[in-house]
Structure 1
Amino acid sequence: MRKKESPAIDQEQLVAAWKRTLPTVLNASDKVSVYADEADPQAIRITILAEGRSGYEFDFTCRYVDDREVKVQLVDAERDEVTVDERGERIQQMVEDYIRHIHECAQVLHAETHA
């Protein structure tokens, strides 16, 4: 059984790498903020503003399960600064799309996070 390891870089470097890389895998009109999850040194927080999609904003946590795998969870979905029900089909499709992009970014960063 493979030992689970944390990313090979510290959280500050991880945030910087995600800030640099995530915008390259998202839609050009989307805006993204990446910052440290102060409660968990193995996690980052991601906010995506779907500029071209009627003012939706999504907050995610992205936690490294090991140096290769991330677990992404939606924390909140808003439209025009009001929390919306994220169970609707359109929002679910957007969330799934963003989660795919976040996983794609983690794969791109694998060389930096793997010891």
Structure 2
Amino acid sequence: MNEEMLVDQGTLVKAWQQQLPEYLNPGDTSIVQADLADPYGLRIHINAEGRQDYSYDFQCTYMDRREVKVELVDVEREGATVNEQSEQVQNLTEDYVRHIHECAQALQRITNP
């Protein structure tokens, strides 16, 4: 990280927990936790609404005060790991990555005041 974050990880987690649901699809739920291995990182778990019963785990790392890197860690369906290359999973993953970036932009009010 080339610019020092002015916000501690606990404050970031709370802000993300409050803001992220506004960017998700209706019915989706999320859990945001601190990434204990990275003081500038978050772990984001999203349960996709619908009959498919998919859940997604992402690692979100602040590269600087404005930019985040989002990586898919795992996709599960009914508790079992699924093929992340399927078209449906790829499309939902892209949507969620976009929503996470949108949320990060909205939170620049606290990360890049």
* TM-score, L = length of structure 2: 0.96
Indicate which of 61, 67, 72 corresponds to 1:69: 67
Q: Where does 1:72-87 land on structure 2 (aligned, <5 Å)?
A: 72-87=70-85
Q: Among all aligned residue pairs of Structure 1 and Structure 2, give the percentage whose two residues are the same amino acid.
A: 52
Match of 2:40 in 1: 42
For structure 1, the residue ranges without an aligned partner over 5 or more in a row are none
Which segments of structure 1 move beyond 3 Å, counting only runs of 4 or more?
none
Q: Where does 1:86-97 land on structure 2 (aligned, <5 Å)?
A: 86-97=84-95
Q: Distance in 1 between matches of 2:22 and 2:49?
A: 16
Q: CA deviation at 1:6?
A: 3.6
* 1:4 and 2:2 aligned: yes
Amino acid at match of 1:95: T
Match of 2:97 in 1: 99
Q: Distance in 2 between matches of 1:32 and 1:40?
A: 20
Q: Please, what is the CA RMSD of the aligned residues? A: 1.2
Residue deviations 1:50-88, cap 9 Å, x none? 022510000000000000000000000000000001011
Match of 2:49 in 1: 51
